[in-house]
Structure formats: C-alpha cells, structure tokens
C-alpha cells in the first residue's frame, strides 16, 4: 500500500529554499537514509514487574550487539538501521526508553545497549495495544529518518486491549502507511504462572495484531527462549527474511477470542 503523503501547502517551497541556502542540501537529502526504521514496543503493563522489565531490556540490549545481528545490519544496502525502544502500558502511558538511534556497527550498537540498561521511568497500566501501535506509527512518521522498510515490533503477554483505540483500527492505519507489524508473543517470563491467557496467544497475534508483507510472530516460553526469540526476531527483521516458518504455533489448540472480545 502507498505511504501516507502530507501536503504542506505553498509554504513548503519557500521553506525548502531557505533550507538549501542554509545547509546546501534539500530537505529530502537531509534525511538519514537507512535500510530499516524499527520501533521496538515492549510490554510494560501491570502484569510485568520491575524484575521482568529489567530482564526484558537486557534481552534486547544483548541481542542488538550480537555479532550475527550486526552482520545483518552491515549487510544491507545502506549498512545501517534506525531503532527506538518504547515501553507501553495504558492508553496514556507510552515511554520512550531509547530515542531513535542509527546503528551501523559495534560502537553504535553498544551505545544503544548501554543507554537501554540505564535507569529509566517505565510505562504502566492495563493493555492498550491499539494506542501503542498508534504511538509507534507517530514516531516513524515524525522522525528525520527515511527507511527503505518501516517495522513496528510489538511484544506482549496478552492480546487484550482494555482501553484506547481498537487494535483493528490502529493496525489498519499502520498497514495503510506502509508499515509492517511483527510480534513477540511472550508465553511465560518467570514461569511462575505459566501461560498468561486461556486462549492461543500465538494465533491471536497472527489473526489480530501482525500484518504487512513478511510479517511474523515468534514466541518465548521461558527466560532462556526469550533472549533467543529476540535475537532471531531481529535477524528476520533486519535481513527482511520473509520466512513463513517464523510463525511459531506451539500451544495446544484453544478457542480463540473474537476481535470484539479483545478490544473491549
């Protein structure tokens, strides 16, 4: 689908001329070109305690500096990607933990990782997945980066949407803007309580959250598999591997909730 194009009116021409006079390049040329714009949307709702928040950040910090992930980054046409890490909770709680960062090698990856592991305020509240997707789209469309591909990567231990815009509406808006949505279905973090929902979380993700060319769901059902899932997910996204096998359905068959039930 075509990307959303905004018409800023006749004032654009004068603004562009002033920009060129000041910087010697056009506004489009001034944008940072990358292979991928990636918003990492990490679950920080009420079911996630502070220990799990730390564990989650550590998983992504380790994955972004993984040699294979770095090799995938530098193997692209532009040899760099742009990443931001955002934790989401209720409709009014989306916190940017690490702002947009261009990663083009070990040093920039390490800087992103170190920033992610610093103390930061966290999001909170009951699930508002629709609002989180809308926030991610806003971050993509308002930055000064132009990615060949644009991806929202949402992790969650539930597909419920307790407040805010419906998932279906936010999802369609993102897909219409040419943004792909991938998912990480977290079945168990500490394995204290087992699966957090009574329905098949992987299938719920596949049916109601992910979308766009090559979109996929990966799953994590233990502390060990979480780190591996994050790494594999980044490899798929960065290398743009459209692998159907990435949709992992490992749970026993369960009745799926309807879209209306998840968006109440």
| pLDDT score of 235 | 94
pLDDT exceeds 70 at position 85: yes
pLDDT for the residue numbered 262: 38
pLDDT at position 222: 73
Answer yes or no: is pLDDT of 75 > 50: yes
- End-to-end CA distance of the chain, in Å? 29
Tell me whether residue 177 is in a domain: yes
Strands (E), 17-105: 32-43, 81-88, 94-103
73 domain residue, yes or no = yes
Q: Which domain holds residue 89?
A: 32-262
Residues 6+ apart with CB under 8 A from 260: none
The pTM (predicted TM-score) of the whole model is 0.79
Q: Which of 188, 124, 122, 164 is nearest to 262 (CA)?
A: 164
Tell me whether residue 101 is exposed, middle or buried, using C-beta atoms within 10 angstroms of its C-beta: 0 to 12, 13 to 18, 19 or more. middle
Task: Identify any residues that bridge with 94 across adjacent strands, giving them in sequence order.
Answer: 88
Reported as a pLDDT band with limits 50, 70 and 90, residue 9 is: very low
In a domain, 94, yes or no: yes
Contacts of 168 (CB under 8 A, 6+ apart): 208, 259, 263
Average pLDDT over residues 42-47: 89
Tokens of 140: 């993509």
What's the confidence (pLDDT) of residue 252? Answer: 28
Mean residue pLDDT of the chain comes to 80
* 11 within domain boundaries: no
- For residue 208, give the CATH number of its domain: 3.40.50.410
DSSP at 178: T
The model's confidence at residue 21, banded by pLDDT at 50, 70 and 90, is low
* Domain assignment of residue 22, yes or no: no
Structure tokens at 165: 């815009």
C-beta separation of 118 from 80 below 8 A:
no
Tell me, yes or no, whether 185 lies in a domain: yes
> pLDDT digits over 134-181, tens only?
999 999 999 999 999 999 999 998 999 999 999 999 999 999 999 999
Q: Is residue 12 part of a domain?
A: no
**Domain annotation covers residue 45:** yes
Domain count, the chain: 1
E strand or H helix at 174: helix 167-176
Residue 124 pLDDT: 87
């Amino acid at each position: 689908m075509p990307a959303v194009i905004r018409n800023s009116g006749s004032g654009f021409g004068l603004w562009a001329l002033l920009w060129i006079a000041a910087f010697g390049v056009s506004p489009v040329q001034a944008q940072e070109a990358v292979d991928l714009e990636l918003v990492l949307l990490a679950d920080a709702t009420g079911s996630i305690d502070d220990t799990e928040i730390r564990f989650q950040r550590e998983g992504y910090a380790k994955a972004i500096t993984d040699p294979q992930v770095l090799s995938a980054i530098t193997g692209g046409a532009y040899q760099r990607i742009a990443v931001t890490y955002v934790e989401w909770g209720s409709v009014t709680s989306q916190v940017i933990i690490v702002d947009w960062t261009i990663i083009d090698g070990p040093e920039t990856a390490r800087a992103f990782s170190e920033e992610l592991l610093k103390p930061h305020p966290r999001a909170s509240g009951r699930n508002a997945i629709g609002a989180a997707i809308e926030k991610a789209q806003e971050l993509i469309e308002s930055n000064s980066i132009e990615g060949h591909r644009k991806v929202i990567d949402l992790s969650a231990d539930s597909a419920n949407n307790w407040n805010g815009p419906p998932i279906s509406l936010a999802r369609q808006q993102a897909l219409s803007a040419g943004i792909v949505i991938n998912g990480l279905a977290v079945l168990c973090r500490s394995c204290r309580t087992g699966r957090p929902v009574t329905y098949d979380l992987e299938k719920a993700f596949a049916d109601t959250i992910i979308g766009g060319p090559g979109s996929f769901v990966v799953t994590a059902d233990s502390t060990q598999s979480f780190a591996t899932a994050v790494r594999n997910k980044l490899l798929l996204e960065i290398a743009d591997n459209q692998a159907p096998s990435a949709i992992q359905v490992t749970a026993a068959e369960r009745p799926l909730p309807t879209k209306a039930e998840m968006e109440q």
